[in-house]
Structure 1
Protein backbone atom coordinates (compact mmCIF):
# COMPACT_ATOMS: atom_id res chain seq x y z
CA UNK A 1 0.00 0.00 0.00
CA UNK A 2 1.38 3.41 -0.96
CA UNK A 3 1.61 6.28 1.50
CA UNK A 4 -1.26 8.19 -0.06
CA UNK A 5 -3.46 5.08 -0.14
CA UNK A 6 -2.83 4.59 3.57
CA UNK A 7 -3.58 8.23 4.36
CA UNK A 8 -6.81 8.14 2.36
CA UNK A 9 -8.08 5.31 4.58
CA UNK A 10 -8.56 7.97 7.26
CA UNK A 11 -9.38 10.97 5.08
CA UNK A 12 -10.27 10.40 1.46
CA UNK A 13 -9.71 14.07 0.67
CA UNK A 14 -6.11 14.39 1.82
CA UNK A 15 -3.66 15.54 -0.84
CA UNK A 16 0.12 15.71 -0.98
CA UNK A 17 1.27 19.10 -2.26
CA UNK A 18 4.51 20.46 -3.65
CA UNK A 19 5.88 23.90 -2.96
CA UNK A 20 5.71 25.02 -6.58
CA UNK A 21 1.95 24.39 -6.80
CA UNK A 22 0.98 26.66 -3.90
CA UNK A 23 -1.13 29.75 -4.47
CA UNK A 24 -0.18 33.18 -3.17
CA UNK A 25 -2.92 32.89 -0.55
CA UNK A 26 -1.56 29.56 0.69
CA UNK A 27 1.96 30.94 0.86
CA UNK A 28 0.80 33.91 2.91
CA UNK A 29 -0.80 31.72 5.56
CA UNK A 30 2.21 29.43 5.97
CA UNK A 31 4.85 29.97 8.68
CA UNK A 32 8.27 30.95 7.33
CA UNK A 33 9.90 27.79 8.67
CA UNK A 34 7.41 25.70 6.69
CA UNK A 35 8.35 27.56 3.51
CA UNK A 36 12.04 27.13 4.18
CA UNK A 37 11.66 23.39 4.70
CA UNK A 38 9.13 22.53 2.01
CA UNK A 39 10.89 24.58 -0.67
CA UNK A 40 13.85 22.19 -0.39
CA UNK A 41 13.83 19.59 -3.15
CA UNK A 42 16.02 17.05 -1.38
CA UNK A 43 14.45 15.02 1.42
CA UNK A 44 17.52 15.31 3.63
CA UNK A 45 17.44 19.09 3.32
CA UNK A 46 13.74 19.24 4.25
CA UNK A 47 14.36 17.06 7.28
CA UNK A 48 17.38 19.07 8.38
CA UNK A 49 15.51 22.35 7.98
CA UNK A 50 12.49 21.23 9.99
CA UNK A 51 14.62 19.74 12.77
CA UNK A 52 16.54 22.98 13.10
CA UNK A 53 13.27 24.68 13.93
CA UNK A 54 12.18 21.94 16.34
CA UNK A 55 15.47 22.39 18.19
CA UNK A 56 14.16 25.73 19.48
CA UNK A 57 11.70 23.80 21.64
CA UNK A 58 14.00 21.51 23.60
CA UNK A 59 12.34 22.45 26.88
CA UNK A 60 9.07 20.98 25.66
CA UNK A 61 10.23 18.11 23.42
CA UNK A 62 13.76 17.07 24.29
CA UNK A 63 13.17 13.30 24.09
CA UNK A 64 10.96 13.58 21.02
CA UNK A 65 13.53 15.72 19.18
CA UNK A 66 16.30 13.26 20.02
CA UNK A 67 14.22 10.48 18.46
CA UNK A 68 13.30 12.53 15.39
CA UNK A 69 16.93 13.39 14.70
CA UNK A 70 17.61 9.71 14.05
CA UNK A 71 14.27 8.49 12.71
CA UNK A 72 12.56 11.30 10.82
CA UNK A 73 12.45 10.12 7.19
CA UNK A 74 10.58 12.91 5.44
CA UNK A 75 8.43 16.01 5.90
CA UNK A 76 5.81 16.84 3.28
CA UNK A 77 3.08 19.39 2.80
CA UNK A 78 -0.50 18.15 2.72
CA UNK A 79 -3.96 19.61 2.64
CA UNK A 80 -6.14 17.89 5.23
CA UNK A 81 -9.78 18.92 5.69
CA UNK A 82 -9.06 22.05 3.65
CA UNK A 83 -6.16 23.00 5.92
CA UNK A 84 -2.47 23.06 5.12
CA UNK A 85 -0.46 20.78 7.38
CA UNK A 86 2.92 19.08 7.55
CA UNK A 87 3.05 15.31 7.31
CA UNK A 88 5.95 13.65 9.13
CA UNK A 89 7.10 10.19 8.06
CA UNK A 90 8.95 8.54 10.95
CA UNK A 91 10.51 5.14 11.50
CA UNK A 92 9.31 3.34 14.63
CA UNK A 93 11.24 0.79 16.67
CA UNK A 94 10.04 -2.04 14.43
CA UNK A 95 11.38 -0.27 11.36
CA UNK A 96 7.91 0.52 10.02
CA UNK A 97 6.82 3.96 8.85
CA UNK A 98 4.38 5.93 11.00
CA UNK A 99 2.77 9.23 10.12
CA UNK A 100 2.28 12.29 12.28
CA UNK A 101 0.58 15.50 11.24
CA UNK A 102 1.38 19.01 12.43
CA UNK A 103 -1.22 21.71 11.86
CA UNK A 104 -0.70 25.32 10.86
CA UNK A 105 -0.13 27.63 13.85
CA UNK A 106 -1.17 30.63 11.75
CA UNK A 107 -4.70 29.39 11.10
CA UNK A 108 -5.74 28.05 14.49
CA UNK A 109 -9.15 28.93 15.87
CA UNK A 110 -9.32 31.45 18.70
CA UNK A 111 -10.25 29.68 21.94
CA UNK A 112 -11.37 31.66 24.99
CA UNK A 113 -8.80 30.15 27.31
CA UNK A 114 -5.84 30.23 24.93
CA UNK A 115 -4.24 33.32 26.48
CA UNK A 116 -4.49 31.70 29.92
CA UNK A 117 -2.24 28.82 28.87
CA UNK A 118 1.34 28.78 30.19
CA UNK A 119 3.78 30.51 27.86
CA UNK A 120 5.49 27.19 27.07
CA UNK A 121 2.26 25.93 25.48
CA UNK A 122 1.48 29.17 23.68
CA UNK A 123 4.99 29.07 22.23
CA UNK A 124 4.31 25.68 20.63
CA UNK A 125 0.86 26.62 19.38
CA UNK A 126 2.05 29.95 17.97
CA UNK A 127 5.47 29.02 16.62
CA UNK A 128 5.63 25.28 15.86
CA UNK A 129 2.32 23.54 15.27
CA UNK A 130 -1.31 23.89 16.27
CA UNK A 131 -1.18 20.32 17.52
CA UNK A 132 1.09 17.48 16.44
CA UNK A 133 -0.62 14.06 16.50
CA UNK A 134 -0.54 10.52 15.12
CA UNK A 135 -2.31 10.79 11.79
CA UNK A 136 -4.53 7.71 11.95
CA UNK A 137 -6.08 8.43 15.34
CA UNK A 138 -5.52 12.20 15.66
CA UNK A 139 -4.28 11.46 19.19
CA UNK A 140 -1.03 10.45 20.92
CA UNK A 141 0.23 14.00 20.69
CA UNK A 142 -0.38 17.57 21.71
CA UNK A 143 -3.91 18.26 20.47
CA UNK A 144 -4.89 21.08 18.13
CA UNK A 145 -6.16 23.88 20.34
CA UNK A 146 -9.66 23.37 18.93
CA UNK A 147 -9.62 19.74 20.10
CA UNK A 148 -8.41 20.36 23.65
CA UNK A 149 -11.08 19.81 26.27
CA UNK A 150 -12.30 21.44 29.45
CA UNK A 151 -12.40 18.48 31.81
CA UNK A 152 -15.45 19.84 33.61
CA UNK A 153 -17.46 19.70 30.38
CA UNK A 154 -17.03 15.95 29.99
CA UNK A 155 -18.74 12.96 31.60
CA UNK A 156 -16.33 10.90 33.71
CA UNK A 157 -17.31 7.56 35.22
CA UNK A 158 -14.40 7.85 37.65
CA UNK A 159 -16.29 10.63 39.43
CA UNK A 160 -18.59 7.91 40.80
CA UNK A 161 -15.56 6.62 42.74
CA UNK A 162 -13.83 9.86 43.69
CA UNK A 163 -15.22 13.07 45.15
CA UNK A 164 -14.34 15.95 42.83
CA UNK A 165 -14.57 18.36 45.78
CA UNK A 166 -11.49 16.71 47.31
CA UNK A 167 -9.33 17.51 44.29
CA UNK A 168 -6.96 20.50 44.53
CA UNK A 169 -8.57 22.09 41.47
CA UNK A 170 -11.93 22.62 39.84
CA UNK A 171 -12.43 20.56 36.69
CA UNK A 172 -14.07 23.55 35.03
CA UNK A 173 -10.67 25.29 35.13
CA UNK A 174 -8.68 22.31 33.83
CA UNK A 175 -7.68 21.68 30.23
CA UNK A 176 -6.81 18.31 28.68
CA UNK A 177 -4.02 19.03 26.18
CA UNK A 178 -2.64 15.61 25.30
CA UNK A 179 -4.91 12.66 24.52
CA UNK A 180 -3.21 9.26 24.82
CA UNK A 181 -5.89 7.66 22.63
CA UNK A 182 -7.32 5.70 25.55
CA UNK A 183 -9.38 8.39 27.22
CA UNK A 184 -6.65 9.79 29.46
CA UNK A 185 -5.25 13.32 29.31
CA UNK A 186 -2.13 15.19 30.28
CA UNK A 187 -3.77 18.24 31.78
CA UNK A 188 -3.20 21.58 33.46
CA UNK A 189 -5.11 23.76 35.89
CA UNK A 190 -5.38 27.24 34.37
CA UNK A 191 -5.48 28.73 37.87
CA UNK A 192 -2.31 27.04 39.07
CA UNK A 193 0.42 29.39 40.26
CA UNK A 194 3.11 27.05 38.94
CA UNK A 195 3.05 26.91 35.14
CA UNK A 196 5.32 23.87 35.03
CA UNK A 197 3.02 21.65 37.06
CA UNK A 198 0.06 19.67 35.76
CA UNK A 199 -1.56 16.30 36.27
CA UNK A 200 -2.62 13.15 34.45
CA UNK A 201 -6.38 12.73 34.33
CA UNK A 202 -7.04 9.00 34.12
CA UNK A 203 -10.54 7.93 33.16
CA UNK A 204 -10.42 4.75 35.28
CA UNK A 205 -8.44 5.72 38.39
CA UNK A 206 -7.38 8.60 40.59
CA UNK A 207 -5.51 11.36 38.78
CA UNK A 208 -1.75 11.59 39.19
CA UNK A 209 -1.20 15.01 40.70
CA UNK A 210 1.63 17.53 40.90
CA UNK A 211 3.75 16.37 37.99
CA UNK A 212 5.98 18.45 35.74
CA UNK A 213 3.76 18.44 32.69
CA UNK A 214 6.12 18.80 29.73
CA UNK A 215 8.31 15.76 30.52
CA UNK A 216 5.12 13.67 30.57
CA UNK A 217 3.90 15.05 27.23
CA UNK A 218 7.38 14.60 25.75
CA UNK A 219 7.70 11.01 26.96
CA UNK A 220 4.19 10.04 25.89
CA UNK A 221 4.85 11.54 22.45
CA UNK A 222 8.08 9.61 21.97
CA UNK A 223 6.54 6.36 23.20
CA UNK A 224 3.65 6.81 20.77
CA UNK A 225 6.06 7.19 17.86
CA UNK A 226 8.20 4.22 18.85
CA UNK A 227 5.28 1.81 18.84
Structure 2
Protein backbone atom coordinates (compact mmCIF):
# COMPACT_ATOMS: atom_id res chain seq x y z
CA UNK A 1 0.00 0.00 0.00
CA UNK A 2 2.74 2.49 0.92
CA UNK A 3 4.62 1.75 -2.30
CA UNK A 4 1.44 2.36 -4.31
CA UNK A 5 0.69 5.60 -2.49
CA UNK A 6 4.25 6.77 -2.96
CA UNK A 7 3.93 6.22 -6.72
CA UNK A 8 0.54 7.92 -6.96
CA UNK A 9 1.74 10.91 -4.95
CA UNK A 10 4.49 11.56 -7.46
CA UNK A 11 1.66 13.00 -9.56
CA UNK A 12 -0.53 14.49 -6.83
CA UNK A 13 0.59 14.81 -3.22
CA UNK A 14 -3.00 15.07 -1.94
CA UNK A 15 -4.12 11.59 -2.98
CA UNK A 16 -5.77 9.41 -0.37
CA UNK A 17 -7.03 5.81 -0.68
CA UNK A 18 -10.19 5.45 1.39
CA UNK A 19 -11.14 2.76 3.86
CA UNK A 20 -14.62 1.20 3.72
CA UNK A 21 -15.64 3.28 6.75
CA UNK A 22 -14.54 6.48 5.01
CA UNK A 23 -16.45 5.47 1.86
CA UNK A 24 -19.62 4.99 3.93
CA UNK A 25 -19.33 8.60 5.12
CA UNK A 26 -19.30 10.10 1.61
CA UNK A 27 -22.53 12.00 1.03
CA UNK A 28 -24.99 9.90 -0.99
CA UNK A 29 -25.36 12.60 -3.68
CA UNK A 30 -21.61 12.78 -4.27
CA UNK A 31 -21.06 9.30 -5.74
CA UNK A 32 -23.37 6.56 -7.01
CA UNK A 33 -24.90 4.38 -4.31
CA UNK A 34 -23.66 1.37 -6.32
CA UNK A 35 -20.07 2.46 -5.63
CA UNK A 36 -20.74 2.45 -1.91
CA UNK A 37 -22.40 -0.96 -2.14
CA UNK A 38 -19.49 -2.41 -4.12
CA UNK A 39 -16.92 -1.22 -1.62
CA UNK A 40 -18.80 -2.68 1.33
CA UNK A 41 -17.76 -6.06 -0.07
CA UNK A 42 -14.65 -7.24 1.79
CA UNK A 43 -13.61 -9.88 -0.76
CA UNK A 44 -11.57 -8.22 -3.51
CA UNK A 45 -12.58 -10.68 -6.24
CA UNK A 46 -16.26 -10.25 -5.46
CA UNK A 47 -15.80 -6.48 -5.41
CA UNK A 48 -14.14 -6.58 -8.82
CA UNK A 49 -16.87 -8.80 -10.25
CA UNK A 50 -19.55 -6.41 -9.02
CA UNK A 51 -17.85 -3.48 -10.73
CA UNK A 52 -17.25 -5.36 -13.98
CA UNK A 53 -20.91 -6.38 -14.05
CA UNK A 54 -21.70 -2.66 -14.37
CA UNK A 55 -19.25 -2.39 -17.27
CA UNK A 56 -21.03 -5.31 -18.92
CA UNK A 57 -24.46 -3.81 -18.28
CA UNK A 58 -23.71 -0.57 -20.08
CA UNK A 59 -20.94 -1.44 -22.57
CA UNK A 60 -20.65 -5.22 -22.65
CA UNK A 61 -20.59 -5.28 -26.44
CA UNK A 62 -18.74 -2.04 -27.17
CA UNK A 63 -15.85 -2.71 -24.75
CA UNK A 64 -15.87 -6.51 -24.78
CA UNK A 65 -12.07 -6.84 -25.15
CA UNK A 66 -11.36 -4.31 -22.41
CA UNK A 67 -13.76 -6.07 -20.05
CA UNK A 68 -12.29 -9.48 -20.87
CA UNK A 69 -8.79 -8.16 -20.15
CA UNK A 70 -9.89 -6.66 -16.84
CA UNK A 71 -11.48 -9.96 -15.84
CA UNK A 72 -8.10 -11.64 -16.27
CA UNK A 73 -5.72 -8.94 -15.05
CA UNK A 74 -7.51 -6.61 -12.63
CA UNK A 75 -6.07 -7.21 -9.16
CA UNK A 76 -7.69 -4.54 -7.02
CA UNK A 77 -10.07 -1.59 -7.04
CA UNK A 78 -10.10 1.22 -4.49
CA UNK A 79 -11.75 4.60 -4.09
CA UNK A 80 -9.30 7.43 -4.35
CA UNK A 81 -9.90 10.94 -3.05
CA UNK A 82 -8.13 14.08 -4.24
CA UNK A 83 -9.32 17.44 -2.91
CA UNK A 84 -12.86 16.16 -2.28
CA UNK A 85 -13.09 14.55 -5.72
CA UNK A 86 -13.53 10.78 -5.99
CA UNK A 87 -12.36 8.17 -8.49
CA UNK A 88 -11.98 4.42 -8.68
CA UNK A 89 -8.35 3.33 -8.87
CA UNK A 90 -7.85 0.16 -10.91
CA UNK A 91 -4.72 -1.88 -10.16
CA UNK A 92 -3.89 -4.03 -13.20
CA UNK A 93 -1.11 -6.59 -13.55
CA UNK A 94 -0.42 -7.04 -17.25
CA UNK A 95 0.96 -10.12 -18.99
CA UNK A 96 4.53 -8.86 -18.47
CA UNK A 97 4.00 -8.80 -14.70
CA UNK A 98 3.97 -5.00 -14.59
CA UNK A 99 1.52 -3.15 -12.35
CA UNK A 100 -0.48 -0.39 -14.01
CA UNK A 101 -2.82 2.10 -12.39
CA UNK A 102 -5.91 3.35 -14.20
CA UNK A 103 -8.30 6.00 -12.97
CA UNK A 104 -12.06 5.91 -13.49
CA UNK A 105 -13.43 9.32 -12.59
CA UNK A 106 -16.73 9.95 -10.83
CA UNK A 107 -19.66 10.28 -13.30
CA UNK A 108 -21.33 12.71 -10.90
CA UNK A 109 -18.58 15.28 -11.34
CA UNK A 110 -19.46 18.69 -12.73
CA UNK A 111 -19.58 18.90 -16.55
CA UNK A 112 -16.49 21.01 -17.21
CA UNK A 113 -16.40 21.51 -20.99
CA UNK A 114 -18.44 24.39 -22.35
CA UNK A 115 -18.17 23.52 -26.05
CA UNK A 116 -18.97 19.85 -25.51
CA UNK A 117 -21.88 20.60 -23.20
CA UNK A 118 -23.60 22.57 -25.98
CA UNK A 119 -23.64 19.49 -28.22
CA UNK A 120 -23.68 16.69 -25.65
CA UNK A 121 -27.18 15.44 -26.56
CA UNK A 122 -26.01 14.89 -30.15
CA UNK A 123 -23.21 12.55 -29.03
CA UNK A 124 -24.01 8.82 -29.55
CA UNK A 125 -26.06 7.37 -26.68
CA UNK A 126 -23.45 4.71 -25.91
CA UNK A 127 -20.82 7.39 -25.24
CA UNK A 128 -23.27 9.36 -23.13
CA UNK A 129 -24.01 6.17 -21.21
CA UNK A 130 -20.34 5.57 -20.42
CA UNK A 131 -19.81 9.08 -19.07
CA UNK A 132 -23.12 9.28 -17.20
CA UNK A 133 -23.28 5.75 -15.78
CA UNK A 134 -19.72 4.43 -15.65
CA UNK A 135 -16.92 6.95 -15.45
CA UNK A 136 -16.12 10.54 -16.35
CA UNK A 137 -13.08 9.18 -18.17
CA UNK A 138 -11.08 5.97 -17.76
CA UNK A 139 -7.35 6.25 -18.50
CA UNK A 140 -3.79 5.41 -17.52
CA UNK A 141 -3.30 7.38 -14.34
CA UNK A 142 0.26 8.64 -14.87
CA UNK A 143 -0.38 10.27 -18.25
CA UNK A 144 -4.18 10.64 -18.47
CA UNK A 145 -4.00 8.83 -21.82
CA UNK A 146 -4.67 5.49 -23.55
CA UNK A 147 -8.28 5.79 -22.53
CA UNK A 148 -11.39 7.93 -22.55
CA UNK A 149 -10.47 11.29 -21.06
CA UNK A 150 -12.58 13.26 -18.53
CA UNK A 151 -14.90 16.00 -19.78
CA UNK A 152 -12.41 18.74 -18.97
CA UNK A 153 -9.81 17.09 -21.23
CA UNK A 154 -12.02 16.19 -24.21
CA UNK A 155 -10.32 17.94 -27.13
CA UNK A 156 -12.38 20.41 -29.12
CA UNK A 157 -11.13 20.08 -32.69
CA UNK A 158 -12.55 23.49 -33.54
CA UNK A 159 -9.41 24.85 -31.90
CA UNK A 160 -7.22 22.90 -34.36
CA UNK A 161 -5.73 24.11 -37.66
CA UNK A 162 -8.63 24.88 -40.02
CA UNK A 163 -6.55 25.61 -43.12
CA UNK A 164 -6.67 22.06 -44.51
CA UNK A 165 -9.75 20.53 -46.07
CA UNK A 166 -11.39 17.88 -43.91
CA UNK A 167 -14.23 15.41 -44.27
CA UNK A 168 -15.61 16.30 -40.86
CA UNK A 169 -16.78 19.56 -39.37
CA UNK A 170 -14.12 20.47 -36.81
CA UNK A 171 -16.48 22.97 -35.20
CA UNK A 172 -18.68 20.07 -34.07
CA UNK A 173 -15.96 17.48 -33.42
CA UNK A 174 -14.45 16.28 -30.15
CA UNK A 175 -11.61 13.90 -29.31
CA UNK A 176 -12.71 11.54 -26.53
CA UNK A 177 -9.80 9.09 -26.63
CA UNK A 178 -6.13 10.03 -26.76
CA UNK A 179 -3.00 7.92 -27.05
CA UNK A 180 -0.97 10.70 -25.43
CA UNK A 181 1.00 11.33 -28.62
CA UNK A 182 -1.25 13.74 -30.47
CA UNK A 183 -3.79 11.26 -31.82
CA UNK A 184 -7.48 11.08 -30.93
CA UNK A 185 -10.58 9.05 -31.65
CA UNK A 186 -12.99 11.86 -32.45
CA UNK A 187 -16.73 12.20 -32.92
CA UNK A 188 -18.32 14.76 -35.23
CA UNK A 189 -21.67 15.45 -33.60
CA UNK A 190 -23.18 16.17 -37.02
CA UNK A 191 -21.88 12.94 -38.58
CA UNK A 192 -21.86 10.20 -35.97
CA UNK A 193 -24.64 7.81 -36.93
CA UNK A 194 -23.90 4.21 -35.93
CA UNK A 195 -20.77 5.24 -34.04
CA UNK A 196 -19.07 6.78 -37.06
CA UNK A 197 -15.81 8.40 -35.92
CA UNK A 198 -12.43 9.71 -37.09
CA UNK A 199 -8.92 8.77 -36.02
CA UNK A 200 -7.50 12.29 -35.83
CA UNK A 201 -3.77 12.91 -35.67
CA UNK A 202 -1.51 15.93 -35.66
CA UNK A 203 1.14 13.88 -37.49
CA UNK A 204 -0.63 11.81 -40.16
CA UNK A 205 -3.70 12.12 -42.35
CA UNK A 206 -6.94 11.40 -40.50
CA UNK A 207 -8.70 8.06 -40.94
CA UNK A 208 -12.37 8.68 -41.58
CA UNK A 209 -15.44 6.51 -41.11
CA UNK A 210 -14.00 4.25 -38.43
CA UNK A 211 -16.08 2.64 -35.68
CA UNK A 212 -15.62 4.59 -32.45
CA UNK A 213 -15.87 1.72 -29.99
CA UNK A 214 -13.82 -0.75 -32.04
CA UNK A 215 -10.88 1.65 -32.07
CA UNK A 216 -11.26 2.65 -28.41
CA UNK A 217 -11.59 -0.97 -27.26
CA UNK A 218 -8.50 -2.04 -29.20
CA UNK A 219 -6.38 0.91 -28.10
CA UNK A 220 -7.24 0.52 -24.41
CA UNK A 221 -6.00 -3.09 -24.51
CA UNK A 222 -2.87 -1.97 -26.39
CA UNK A 223 -2.27 0.46 -23.51
CA UNK A 224 -2.57 -2.33 -20.96
CA UNK A 225 0.15 -4.27 -22.73
CA UNK A 226 2.48 -1.38 -23.65
* TM-score using structure 2 length: 0.91
Could you tell me which runs of 5 or more consecutive residues in structure 1 were left unpaired when the two chains were aligned: none
| 1:132 positional shift | 0.4
User: Given the superposition, is the C-alpha separation of residues 19 and 27 from structure 1 closer, same or farther in structure 2, using an over 3 Å criterion?
Assistant: farther
Match of 2:108, SS state, is helix
- Following TM superposition, the consecutive aligned residue runs of length 4 or more in structure 1 with deviations greater than 6 angstroms are none
Is residue 164 of structure 2 the alignment partner of residue 153 of structure 1? no
* 2:149 is equivalent to residue 143 of structure 1: yes
Superposition pairs for residues 70-109 of structure 1, below 5 Å?
A: 70-109=72-111
Q: Are 1:126 and 2:125 an aligned pair?
A: no
Aligned partner of 1:21 in structure 2 is: 22
Q: Structure 1 residue 164: deviation in Å?
A: 2.7
Give the alignment of 1:102-117 within 5 angstroms: 102-109=104-111, 111-117=117-123
More displaced stretch, 209-218 vs 52-61: 52-61
Q: Does 1:67 align with 2:69?
A: yes
Whole-angstrom CA distance in 2 between matches of 1:81 and 1:115: 30
Tell me the alpha carbon deviations over residues 83-140 of structure 1, each in whole angstroms, 9 at most, x when there is no partner: 1110000011211110000011112315322222110100000110010010000111
Deviation at 1:23, TM superposition (A): 6.2
Separation in 1, partners of 2:170, 2:164: 8
Counterpart check, 1:42 vs 2:11: no
Alpha-carbon deviations, 1:56-80, whole Å to 9, x = none?
Answer: 1112211100100110000000113
Output the CA distance in 1 between the equivalents of 2:190 and 2:134.
25
SS in 1 for 2:118: coil
Q: TM-score, normalised by structure 1?
A: 0.91
User: Does residue 191 of structure 2 align to residue 192 of structure 1?
Assistant: yes
Q: Give the gaps of 5 or more residues in structure 2.
A: none
Give aligned pairs, total: 220
Residue 204 (structure 1) aligned with residue 210 (structure 2): no
Contact 1:7 1:14 (8 Å CA) reproduced:
yes
- Structure 2: how far apart are the matches of 1:31 and 1:168? 39
- Report the Cα offset of residue 18 of structure 1: 1.4
Q: What secondary structure does 1:164 align onto?
A: coil
Matched residues in 1 for 2:103 and 2:93: separation?
A: 14
Shift of the alpha carbon at 1:25?
4.8
SS in 2 for 1:28: coil
The RMSD of aligned alpha carbons is 1.7
Distance 2:48 2:106 in 1: 18
